[in-house]
Amino acid sequence: MKALQFTGSLPRYALTLALGRVSRRAYWGGLSCLELRDIPEPELPGPDWAVVRTRYAGICGSDIGLIRLETSPTASAFSSFPFTIGHENTGRLEKVGANLPPDLGPGRRVVVDPLLPCSVRGIDPPCPPCRAGEFGHCENFALGGLAPGLLIGGCRDTGGSWSPFFLAHKDQIFPVPDDVSDEAAALTEPLAVSLHAVARAVRHGAPASGREDTTLVIGGGVIGLGVVAALRYLGDRSRIIVLARHEHQAKIARVFGASEVVLTSGPWAAPKTAAPEAGEARDRLSGLAGWEERLGLILGTGFHRPLLGRPIPSTGAGRVFECAGSVSALDAALRFAAPGGEVVLAGLAATPKGIDWSFIWRKELRILGTFCYGLEAVGQDGRPTAGRGQPTFRMALDLLASGRHDFGGLITHHFRLEDYRKAIATVLDKRSSKVIKAVFDFG
C-alpha cells in the first residue's frame, strides 16, 4: 500500500533547510524528508489490537509544522523513523483481535485516540500520570512494547492515517454514533484538542484579573473554532472575541458563538482612528496595526507608549486561548492578556524567537500549556466534577452527536493521497483557497 512517510534522514533534513530558504516547496519536494512509499499492509500484532481502514485523514497544523521542519528537535526523542504521518482519523475496523469487545467488530465505524501511553505500550503498572488519567503526561512514550512515539503518526510500529490502513489498540478505539457522519467524525481529534484546552482551563479555576467576563481566542483555524464551540458547549457565558485572519473563518466563528471577531488582514483590519483626532492621541497610537487598534477598542483598553517599541495595552482579556501556533499569535496573547490573567497555549509554537516574555512577570500571567487529551473532570455546565472524568474523545463525539453545529461542513477540501503536494500547498494558502479543514479521502 502507499503511505506518506517522514524519513528522518539527517542529510535530507539539512538539505531541505537550506533549499527552504529559496522556496517553501522544497519542504515537500523530491529531496525532502517527506516521501510517498510502498509499504506492507499492517498485520495484527496481538489480541488487543485492530487494523483500521482509513476513510478520512485530516491535515493539521502540527503535520504542516513537521513537514516544514518547524517542530522542536526535542520531539525526535519521542519518534521512531521512518513513520507514516497522520493522527486525525476516522475509518472502519478491518481486522480485530480476540480481546476486543463485541461492539467493535469488523466494519464498525470508529475514531482512534492517537496517544500511545502506558496501556497501549503494555506497561503495567502504568506510570503515575496515566493512573491519574493524564495520558498526555505519560512518562513512557519511548518505552514498552512499541517503538518511541507520542502518537500514531509518529511511531513506525503503528503507522498513521496518511495511509489506507493503520493499527490501533483496543483502548484507543471509540465507536462513532450512528447520527454522526464520517465527515463530522473526522473532526473528532481536533475537537478533542479544543475541548481538552477548555476543560483544563476550567479545572484550574478563574483567572485572578477580575476580567473573566472576556475571553480572547487567537486563531480562526479548526482548533480556534473548536475552542469557541467548546466554550459555549460547556456553558461559558463570557464575551468571546476571536482574532482571525480571514473572513471565511470569521463567519464560522460567529456561528459557533463568538461575540466579536477582529480580522488581522483585509479591509476590516484597517485602522479606525480618525485623522482629525490626531495630536497627542494619534501619536500615542502610532505604531499600532489596524487590528490592534480595533481589538483595543473592543476590549476598552488604553495604550502606553514606551521609549522604544510598540504601544502596550493597559489591560486586556481575562483569559486568552492561543490557538494559531505562531510567533505573532503568541506575542498577541501575552500583550492582550489582562494583568493577573491566564494564557492557555493550545497552538504549537515550537521554538519561538523574538517574543517579549516580560509581560509574564510584569502582569503576573498564568501560563497553561495543553497537549492532546485525557480524562476530563468537567460537566456540561462548565464546572469541575468529582471522580476521574470521561475521555475527551467521548466528550467530543457527544458534542458532534448533539447537532449543535455542522462540524462536517468544516471539511472544505478533499485530496487523494497521491496529490499530497497540492494538498499541502492548498493548506498553506488559506487566503485564496479559503480552506478550513483539508483531508485525505480514501473513499
Distance CA 354, CA 357 (A): 9
Q: What angle do CA 72, 76, 79 make, to 5 degrees?
A: 130
Instruction: Quote the pLDDT of residue 269.
Output: 54
Q: Which residues pair with 54 in a beta bridge?
A: 91
| Residues 343 and 410 grouped into a single domain | no
Residue 185 lies in a domain: no
> Residue 340 is part of a domain; what is its CATH number?
3.40.50.720
> Over its length of 443 residues, how does the chain's per-residue pLDDT go in tens digits?
999 999 999 999 999 999 999 999 999 999 999 999 999 999 999 999 999 999 999 999 999 999 999 988 888 999 999 999 999 999 999 999 999 999 999 999 999 999 999 999 999 999 999 999 999 999 999 999 999 999 999 999 999 999 999 999 999 999 999 999 999 999 999 999 999 999 999 888 877 665 668 999 999 999 999 999 999 999 999 999 999 999 999 999 999 999 999 999 865 454 444 443 444 444 445 678 899 999 999 999 999 999 888 899 999 999 999 999 999 999 999 999 999 999 999 997 778 888 999 999 999 999 999 999 999 988 877 777 877 899 999 999 999 999 999 999 999 999 999 999 999 999 999 999 999 999 999 99
> Residue 150 is part of a domain; what is its CATH number?
3.90.180.10
CA 249 vs. chain centroid, Å, equals 16
Q: Which residues pair with 3 in a beta bridge?
A: 37
Residue carrying C-alpha cell 475496523:
93
| Residues 217 and 343 grouped into a single domain | yes
Residue 415 lies in a domain: yes
Instruction: Quote the pLDDT of residue 272.
Output: 45
How does strand 437-441 pair with strand 49-59? antiparallel
Residue 244 lies in a domain: yes
Q: Which residues pair with 315 in a beta bridge?
A: none
DSSP 8-state code for residue 74: G
| Residues 157 and 59 grouped into a single domain | yes
| Residues 415 and 298 grouped into a single domain | no
Contact residues for 203 (Cβ-Cβ < 8 A; gap 6+): 377, 378, 384
Distance CA 322, CA 326 (A): 9
Instruction: Quote the pLDDT of residue 271.
Output: 45
Residue 26 lies in a domain: yes
| Residues 171 and 207 grouped into a single domain | no
Whether 280 and 303 have beta carbons less than 8 Å apart is answered as no
Whether 303 and 296 have beta carbons less than 8 Å apart is answered as yes
Residue 392 lies in a domain: no
Which string of DSSP letters, residue by residue, matches 178-200? Answer: TTS-HHHHTTHHHHHHHHHHHHH
Distance CA 198, CA 257 (A): 15
Query: What's the total number of domains in the chain?
Result: 2
DSSP 8-state code for residue 390: E
Domain that holds residue 159: 2-175+406-441
| Residues 215 and 282 grouped into a single domain | yes
- What's the whole-model pTM score? 0.94
Instruction: Quote the pLDDT of residue 266.
Output: 63
What is the phi/psi pair of residue 338, to 5°?
-70, 150
| Residues 171 and 198 grouped into a single domain | no
Residue carrying C-alpha cell 462513532:
176
> pLDDT tens for residues 45-86?
999 999 999 999 999 999 999 999 998 888 899 999 999 999
Longest Cα–Cα distance in the chain: 77
Residue 134 lies in a domain: yes
Residue 182 lies in a domain: no
Contact residues for 162 (Cβ-Cβ < 8 A; gap 6+): 3, 4, 57, 84, 85, 86, 153, 417, 420, 440
| Residues 171 and 199 grouped into a single domain | no
Instruction: Tell me the CA distances in angstroms from 135 to 5, 282, 288, 303, one per residue in order.
Output: 25, 51, 42, 42
Distance CA 244, CA 224 (A): 9
| Residues 360 and 412 grouped into a single domain | no
Grouping H, G, I as helix, E, B as strand and the rest as coil, residue 94 is strand
